[in-house]
Amino acid sequence: MSPMKAFLGNRNGCSEYPIFCSNTDSQSVRRPSTTIMDSRKKTTTKKEASSALTTFYLFIYNGILTVGWSLILYATVNQVKTYKSVGDLWECRGLWKAIELQLKVCQTAAFLEVIHAMFGLVRSNPMIVLVQIMSRVFLVWGVANYIPQTQFSVGILLAVVAWSITEIIRYAYYVLNLFQVAPQILTWCRYTFFIILYPMGVTGELTTIAKAMQTIYPEVVRNRYSILLPNKFNFGLDYFYFLAVVVCAYAYFPTMYKHMFKQRAKALNISPSKK
Amino acid sequence: MSGKNQGNTFRLEVLKARGNGALTTIDSISADATIAELKKRVAQQKPELYSDRQSYRTEPTGKSVKDTQKLSELNIDKVGKIYFKDLGTQIGWSTVFFAEYAGPLFIYLLFYIRPSLVYGSSAGSKPVHLAAHLGAICWTVHYAKRILETIFVHRFSHSTMPVFNLFKNCSYYWSFTALVSFFVNHPKYTPPSFGNAQIYLGLGIFILNEIGNLSIHILLRDLRPAGSTERRIPYPNKINPFTNLFHLVSCPNYTYEIGSWLGFSLMTQTLTALLFTFAGAVQMTIWAKQKHRAYKKDFADKYPKQRKSIIPFLI
């Protein structure tokens, strides 16, 4: 079996791209020390040339994203260093401006991973990847970018810190894995940091959405952000209630969190921990 | 009550496929008994595990065996063991279908008949547009037709499905019903841009596709002999021109269904109706492709080559 060939678990249950944290590498189930990430549906009959090209492409892609998220984290930390009081921290002035472009690029670029999954460059279920990216992209474009007041919220800080640490580890892991040199410590980080980062990120996201809802609650403001009737498509969307529905979707969090612990146990070969 | 030919009985351990240990042991069962009979025996010993809930395999992981197979054919009498899987609480297909279709009927008409309940008291006195009336009629006809088909037309190849499906399917149907109905019956409804021409064109498309869909259901019912689960290749019949779509696709019933909803969307010019159409089309395309693959596998060279699964010439 070519070392480039994956043996990831079934498509249905596992994804390697959970809502917001590095995890669920079901391939690491059996052999944590030799996990292979890059995988293709195609068999070893595929020409060597394409597999080298794929590897090269994934190296570039994952490499760029590792760097991108590092820049975001760096800019975030620098910005936070300028805050002098709790009030400053709560408001997060200047944070969004400092990271806006990189964040938009990195987070939106993640859609490529759906394409990778669809074409078998990586073995994940494209649907699951899509759903997980959507939640982050929604926060960036549908909340922070759309309703500017939310850019001044500590929620953004929490979310971005959690995302960036997670993504740096994740993408770095992928890069190293392409060449089978991912150190065990990195795997450990990948499957352990989520314990703090996942709830932290969700808290950040929900806080940001709460700020958004608070901002657009008054009718005057609400109408500016909503689609109003009448119109020729007979479609209306009250953005406040739309955000409320999005909040309800976070009810999935406990299930996902528990699922990650199970994945962790499998990946690190330990008996399942409680929680 | 498996009174057997003596030399032929054996002791069977029913083991759990997932997890350890035995579910139960059958002291004496005939090697000629079928899986169906085994299910009955197990249900006697474990009354909460009615037959439809039981599934058996010869190995802990692997495909389930059919009800009609004999234990001897599967070598179970030599091995003395069989693996059991609990399929979970089952619910009859008819039950599911009724719940799925009664909901949309009720919910859609709620918005239509009692708008003041949803849109506020002033909504009750506003005039209702022709498109909204026709929308309510079409919606009702569609789901009433489905309910009647469930009673009189369809034959199901499994008698039950897992109860989780009920929840999932009802959420889908009921939510979309609310989304469509809310906007079509809204006091601020905007009639279609091309007026009555568009309304009647949409209506016509809807009606033709409903007839088409019904025609295919009837043909499929007649294809399968009563009480059997035998499969045959469906072909157009000489009587009903709507069945000619079988020349081009394996699942014309789904094709017609998409057509109906396109007609409905055109008639009402409502975005959520179009979204509903699209969602249904995606799901039906998945099913059609599965069915098409199954047909080609079962019938191989005998299966008509020019057929696509759901969209003529395309998919």
Q: Which of A229, A234, A236 lies at the smallest CB-CB distance from B269?
A: A234
Residue range B9-87 in CATH 3.10.20.90: yes
Supply the pTM of this predicted model.
0.76
Looking at the predicted structure, is the pLDDT value of residue B130 above 80?
Answer: yes
In the predicted structure, residue B88 carries a pLDDT above the cut 50: yes
Q: Which two tokens stand for residue A154?
A: 């500590």
Residue B247, pLDDT > 90, answer yes
Distance CA B223, CA B232 (A): 7
Q: Provide the percentage of residues in chain A whose pLDDT is more than 90.
A: 58
Mean pLDDT, chain B, rounded, equals: 89
Task: Give residue A177's domain range.
Answer: 53-210
Q: What is the pLDDT of residue A239?
A: 97
Shortest distance between the Cα of A186 and any Cα of chain B, in A, equals: 33
Residues of A annotated catalytic, as ranges:
198, 205
Residue A196 lies in a domain: yes
- At A132 the pLDDT is 79
What is the structure's pLDDT at B109? 95
**Domains of chain B, residue spans:** 9-87, 91-302
Q: What is the pLDDT of residues B106-127, one digit of tens each?
A: 999 999 998 888 998 888 888 8
- pLDDT value at residue A272: 52
How much is the average pLDDT of B207-218? 96
Amino acid type, A151: Q
Contact flag A229-B270 (C-beta cutoff 8 Å): no
The complex's ipTM works out to 0.77
Order of strands across the sheet with B9-16? B22-30, B9-16, B81-86, B54-57
pLDDT in tens, A149-164: 999 999 999 999 999 9
pLDDT at residue B227, as a whole number: 66
pLDDT tier at A22 (50, 70, 90 boundaries)?
A: very low
The reported pLDDT for the residue numbered A194 is 93
Residue A130 confidence (pLDDT) above 90: no
- As a whole number of Å, the CA-based R_g of chain A is 20
- pLDDT over 70 (residue A74): yes
Give the contacts of B239 (CB within 8 A, at least 6 positions apart).
Answer: none
Q: Over 70: is that where the pLDDT of A30 sits?
A: no
B chain contacts of residue A249, beta-carbon cutoff 8 Å: none
3-state secondary structure labels for all residues of B69-119: CECCCCCHHHHCEEEEEECCCEEEHHHHHHHHHHHHHHHHHHHHHCHHHHH
Within-domain flag for A228: no
Report yes or no on A204 lying in a domain.
Answer: yes
Cβ B190–A235 below 8 Å, yes or no? no
* Structural domain includes residue A105: yes
pLDDT at residue number A7: 32
What pLDDT shows up at residue A21?
33
Answer yes or no: is A125 within a domain. Answer: yes
pLDDT digits (tens, 9 = 90+) for A207-237: 999 999 999 999 999 999 999 999 999 999 9
Total domains in the fold of chain A: 1
Given an 8 Å threshold on Cβ–Cβ distance, is A229 in contact with B188?
yes
3-state DSSP call for residue B230? coil
Q: Who among B186, B269, B272 is closest to A229 (CB)?
A: B186
User: Residue A63: pLDDT above 90?
Assistant: yes
A252 pLDDT more than 80:
yes
Q: Which of A230, A231, A235 sits opposite B272 (nearest CB)?
A: A235
Place of tokens 């040339």: A49
Q: Is the pLDDT of residue B94 over 80?
A: no
Q: How far off is chain B from A228, nearest CA to CA, in Å?
A: 10
Residue whose tokens read 């057929």: B307
Mark yes or no for CB contact B190/A236 under 8 Å: no
pLDDT at position B139, please?
97
Whether B183 sits inside 8 A of A234 (CB atoms) is yes
Q: How far is A249 from chain B (nearest CA, A)?
A: 15
Instruction: Using pLDDT thresholds of 50, 70 and 90, give the confidence band for residue A20.
Output: very low
Q: Smallest Cα–Cα separation from B246: which of B257, B233, B259, B258?
A: B233
Give me the total of CB pairs closer than 8 Å, taking one residue from chain A and one from chain B. 30
The whole-number pLDDT of residue A106 equals 95
From chain A, pick out residues whose CB is under 8 angstroms from the CB of B193: 232
pLDDT at B90: 84
The tens digit of pLDDT for each residue in A167-209 reads: 999 999 999 988 889 899 999 999 999 999 999 999 999 999 9
Report, as an integer, the average pLDDT of A234-247.
96
Q: Is residue B190 pLDDT above 90, yes or no?
A: yes
- Cβ-proximal residues to B311 (8 Å cutoff; 6+ apart), any chain: B249, B255, B285
Predicted pLDDT at A36: 39
